[in-house]
A = this chain, B = another copy of it.
Amino acid sequence: MTTTPVRDTTAQDRQNPWSRPEFEERLRDIATTRYHDRHAFNVRMHEGALTPAELRRWIANRFHYQRHIPVKDALILAKFEDPALRRMWLRRIVDHDGVREGEGGIERWLRLGEAAGLDRERLWSAEDVLPGVRLAVDGYVNFCRLRSPLEAVAASLTELSAPGIMRTRIAAFELHYPWIEAEGLAYFRTRVEQGSRDSAEALALVERWALTREEQERAVAALAFKCDVLWSLLDAVDGAGEGP
């Protein structure tokens, strides 16, 4: 019996980083093909097929994700040695927490909830948050806590697809769910611009930091993980209607 010597292309490939355009294309590909806008629940949302109860369930559960955004961003900020980088990332915390009471993305999400008939106190209580959603959010926060700055920042690159989903969502809500007051959609409107700016900044960092093929692969895997977080959140919300 003979063994055919094979060239270990994998090991050799790892020595050769992708070109910057190829790396960026791979990131954008993940951010497109694995993004949660393709999830059945999201498709139904944008087609106008959700019942009011389903829409409220999504808003309450997604709030659990929203309120933890500044937490994960503070954990990322704590990884940066450079004050200029910290200043840049700090703005994300301000975007969500606001400069003062009554401002910021978390407040806007609460108003979306109220426009859909949900109680603010109840949203804060997290009573209606499903186990799968808790696990997804914990998983993401811990990823940002424990992984490298490169991976934590790469995970944020789902923002590459955020402006698109926000625009579609605003149109879908206005058309299909007129019982939600237009003012309630302020969160989505604000994120169109913030998402574009955030993803451009994060992409520049990831491209600057991921110099070896191994680092590039880690960045792609981090982004795929983050897509799984968002997908899994919708799985939990989608499945909840069937009961345990």
Q: What residues make up the interface of A, taking CB atoms closer than 8 Å to B?
A: 67, 70-72, 74-75, 77-78, 80-81, 83-84, 86-87, 90, 93-94, 96-101, 104, 106-107, 145
Q: Is chain A's binding surface mostly helix, strand, loop or mixed? A: helix
Q: How far is the CB of A77 from chain B (nearest CB, A)?
A: 4
A90 & B86 in contact (Cβ 8 Å cutoff):
no
Copy number in this complex?
2
6 nearest A-B pairs in the assembled complex, by CB-CB distance: A74-B78, A83-B97, A74-B77, A74-B74, A75-B78, A71-B78
Q: Which residues of B contact A90 (CB under 8 A)?
A: 90, 93-94, 97
A93 & B97 in contact (Cβ 8 Å cutoff):
no
For the complex, give the distance between the alpha carbons of A153 and B83 in Å: 22
For the complex, give the distance between the alpha carbons of A71 and B96 in Å: 20
Q: Which residue of B lies closest to A77 (CB)?
A: B74
A101 & B84 in contact (Cβ 8 Å cutoff):
yes
